[in-house]
């Protein structure tokens, strides 16, 4: 029994020891947080639109901070670093939104919207990870500030 627990712990440590593992865990956690905010918001009397909006913005900020500091270990907080990262993240969010809407327009005759959204989310998750790792949270890594 103890040997099995040790194996599971080793697998978990290995998974979380890679940025891709942390990226997926944080992404899933932020998604769960957004759903919780939507649920609580609606129970508190917010409309669905306001609850989803609140969940989206809280999720976006929490995701940015956790991906930056935890997933990619980028501890730099100087405005010369943060401002370009925030702008790049904003542009990426807009691009992802456009991609998702376009995918929905193109595929709605072939599959349900929830499947399209899930597929779009899977695709954007892959390129987001790549861009975060190679550009957004790697920008100017040599800088000391």
Q: pLDDT for 131-142, tens place per residue?
A: 999 989 986 665
What pLDDT is stored for residue 145 in this prediction? Answer: 43
Same domain, 8 and 67: yes
Mean pLDDT over the full length of the chain: 89
Same domain, 92 and 48: no
32 pLDDT higher than 50: yes
pTM of the complete model beyond 0.85: no
Same domain, 112 and 130: yes
65 pLDDT higher than 70: yes
Same domain, 94 and 110: yes
Same domain, 62 and 90: no
What pLDDT is stored for residue 142 in this prediction? Answer: 54
What pLDDT is stored for residue 4 in this prediction? Answer: 81
For the segment 62-91, the average pLDDT, to the nearest whole number, is 93
132 near 96, Cβ under 8 Å?
no
The two structure tokens encoding residue 127: 């390129």
Segments forming the whole domain that contains residue 118: 75-145
Same domain, 100 and 47: no
Q: How many domains does the chain have?
A: 2
Domain boundary among 73, 93, 111: 73
Same domain, 86 and 69: no
Same domain, 51 and 33: yes
């Amino acid at each position: 029994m103890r040997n099995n627990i040790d194996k599971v712990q080793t697998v978990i440590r290995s998974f979380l020891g890679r940025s891709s593992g942390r990226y997926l865990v944080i992404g899933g956690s932020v998604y769960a947080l957004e759903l919780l905010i939507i649920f609580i918001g609606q129970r508190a009397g917010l409309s669905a639109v306001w609850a989803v909006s609140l969940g989206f913005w809280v999720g976006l900020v929490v995701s940015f901070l956790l991906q930056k500091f935890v997933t990619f270990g980028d501890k730099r907080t100087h405005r010369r670093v943060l401002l370009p990262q925030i702008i790049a993240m904003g542009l990426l969010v807009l691009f992802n939104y456009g991609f998702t809407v376009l995918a929905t327009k193109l595929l709605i005759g072939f599959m349900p919207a929830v499947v399209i959204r899930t597929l779009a989310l899977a695709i954007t998750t892959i390129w987001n990870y790549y861009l975060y790792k190679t550009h957004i949270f790697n920008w100017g890594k040599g800088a000391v500030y």
